[in-house]
Chain A
Amino acid sequence: MSLSLRWRAAVLTVFIFFAFTATWELSVGGHGGAATMSPEYAALMGATAKGASAMPGPLKVGGQLWEHVLNPFYDKGPNDKGVGIQLGYSIARVAVGFLLAVLMAVPLGFLIGMSPLFYKALDPFIQVLKPVSPLAWMPLALYTIKDSTISSVFVIYICSVWPMLINTAFGVASVRREWLNVARTLEVGRLRTALRVILPAAGPTIMTGMRISIGIAWLVIVAAEMLVGGTGIGYFVWNEWNNLSITNVIAAIVFIGLIGMLLDQVLAFFTKLVTYVE
């Protein structure tokens, strides 16, 4: 056995995948107990009445996934858009809300981190606002903004802002004293100290905050779009639930998971760029 750990893990991953799908396929197969309903009701219920489960098997889901992959961008009216278009809407909302949060949280976090006075004064607000579920802001946003798309962007903004704000402030406040002392003995100006010393020193902590934020934002967008409706992958999930298409719901879950992983990997890549070894 000279296989590396990586290869052994890959083999195990494939094994678990097949074991899971096989169990799934077997457990959703037809079983009896459908004889007692009236023929009209049975006709309404379709295949379910003949004893099959409404829960699709992995092969069916796989087929549906493949169809989505082949044709992701079709648009046949408001309730029938390709999954690519829906994901695009969601990603765009997350991107806009997240970038607005970066523009706000990083400079403000810098200010809070640099000033012990602001740190202490703003701490109660942050501590109270941080644990509020971002969806609780939704009615407030809809009432004041009166636009469902902007409201969902606002919800993304408000949920992304806290981890970044807290991490930036913490990262800036905990820059090693000696690095600041080096800058002081070299008579480095405030702006140059902020950009050349504090920002790179706090960079990894700030990026960690951003990574937490994008994760939360991607969790929240699905729920927000279910509430607001219209477009987006969250709306797609809810719409397919109303269509009783469990196959599409599961396909959407797979896509949401993959995009979430991708977003995290992008942030992880940038985190790696700013990380330093002490």
Chain B
Amino acid sequence: MITDTQISIEGLRRSFPSANGSGEVTVFEDVWYKVDRGEFVCLIGHSGCGKTTLLNILAGLDAPSAGGIIVDHEEVTGPSLDRAVVFQSHALMPWMTAFANIAFAVRSRWPEWSKTKVRAHCQKYIDLVRLTGAEDKKPSQLSGGMKQRVGIARAFAIEPKIMLLDEPFSALDALTRGSLQDELLSICAATSQTVFMITHDIDEAMLLADKIILMTNGPHAKICEIVENTMPRSRTRHDMHRHPHYYPIRNHLIEFLVNRSTEFEKELSSSDYDPRHPPVVRPGLSRLAVLQSPAERAADGNTDGETIQASA
């Protein structure tokens, strides 16, 4: 199987000066991970484990204290139009209309485009996130969900190679969140977009992600393990919970967030943990199962894992 690595996070560490000024606080360290092209990856962890910091470094808005990130064979040294960010707080410019917010991004990407071309391009993405008719409204006149739709449209409109999402739905109510997740999923499927998303919502991660990175608690947070989502990509919010893999994966994630994320240090000392190759697990296939060979998976009578590998 040929894997096409698009993002390679290599030995990343981020430290900040401590509050009392006597030394440094390391938020996370020794973080190694590779994201394949077209893959949807979610990062889960408690607040304080440096999720947003990690995403900011990926975006080029922050610099690591050690290690680095390679995207398409080039080191990340600053922000780029190839990596679009959807911010947690939508970050729309309140003095611009929804349309102008998106057009600002489009003109930044293609300054040579004519006015009509920019207009048509923006309209396409406004329609895509189902905001048709609300183009000329200011963000203050839009609901929370609509604001985030504009944020998503702005990010997709510049047709980035990588999409970075920082808990984009965390401030929304459950119903709005659900419909936005569905739309994000369909847009990503249509564009086979590489996505790196931060969340603390387990169901969101299971619905959207091909792989879920579990991060231990900070300070000195690390990647605990990678959970492969073995449910088929055709899963939806309505039928996902009926899939036989749903509860094993969900229980595994909850178990991690509730217990293991705090006790990982103990777990570390009693295993052969290698930060360069964090263990990959498929709790959907069998609980506590460590990486199986494709033959074994076939023996399980399950081809979903194959589907995911093929689409990755």
* Interface, chain A (partner B; CB < 8 A): 176, 178-179, 181-182, 184-188, 192, 196-197, 200-201, 203, 274, 276-278
Contacts and interface: CB of A to CB of B under 8 A. Distances in A.
Contact of B95 (A178, A182, A184, A276): A276
B281 to A, nearest CB: 33
A187 B104 CA distance: 11
Contacts of B104: 186, 196
Contact of B79 (A178, A184, A196, A197): A184
A169 B208 CA distance: 44
Contact of B61 (A181, A203, A274): A181
B89 A178 contact: yes
Contacts of A186: 79, 81, 104-105, 108-109, 158
A198 to B, nearest CB: 11
Contacts of B83: 185
Interface string B57-96: 0011100000000000000001111011101010101111
B59 A185 contact: yes
Interface residues of B, number: 25
Contacts of B109: 186
Contacts of B121: none
A59 to B, nearest CB: 51
Given A184-B79, A186-B105, A277 B94 contact: yes
B54 to A, nearest CB: 15
A256 B81 CA distance: 55
B140 interface: yes
A178 B87 contact: yes
Contacts of A181: 59, 61, 79, 85, 87, 91
Given A185-B60, A186-B81, A200 B108 contact: no
B46 interface: no
A230 to B, nearest CB: 45
Contacts of A278: 94, 139-140
Given A196-B104, A276-B138, A278-B140, A185 B93 contact: no
Nearest to B151: A182
Interface SS, A side? helix
12 contacts: A176-B91, A181-B59, A181-B61, A181-B79, A182-B93, A185-B80, A186-B105, A187-B80, A187-B81, A200-B96, A277-B94, A278-B94
Q: Which 5 pairs across A and B sit closest by C-beta, in order of nearness? A: A277-B140, A186-B108, A178-B91, A276-B95, A184-B79
Interface SS, B side? loop
B155 to A, nearest CB: 9
Contacts, number: 61
Count chain B CB atoms within 10 A of each CB in A176, A192, A203, A276 and give the residue with the most: A276
A178 B139 CA distance: 15
Contacts of A274: 95
A276 B100 CA distance: 14
A201 B92 CA distance: 11
Nearest to B81: A187
Contacts of B139: 278
B158 to A, nearest CB: 7
A176 B88 CA distance: 14
A182 B79 CA distance: 10
B100 to A, nearest CB: 10
B95 A201 contact: yes
A110 to B, nearest CB: 17
A187 B108 contact: yes
A144 B85 CA distance: 56
A187 B78 CA distance: 9
Contacts of B94: 276-278
Contact of B140 (A187, A200, A201, A276): A276
Given A179-B91, A182-B93, A188-B108, 4 more contacts: A184-B78, A185-B81, A192-B108, A200-B95
A185 B87 CA distance: 11
A233 to B, nearest CB: 38
A200 B91 CA distance: 15
Interface in B157-184: 158
A188 B101 CA distance: 13
Contact of A179 (B80, B93, B105): B93
A274 B94 CA distance: 11
Nearest to A192: B108
Interface in B101-154: 104-105, 108-109, 138-140
A185 B84 contact: yes
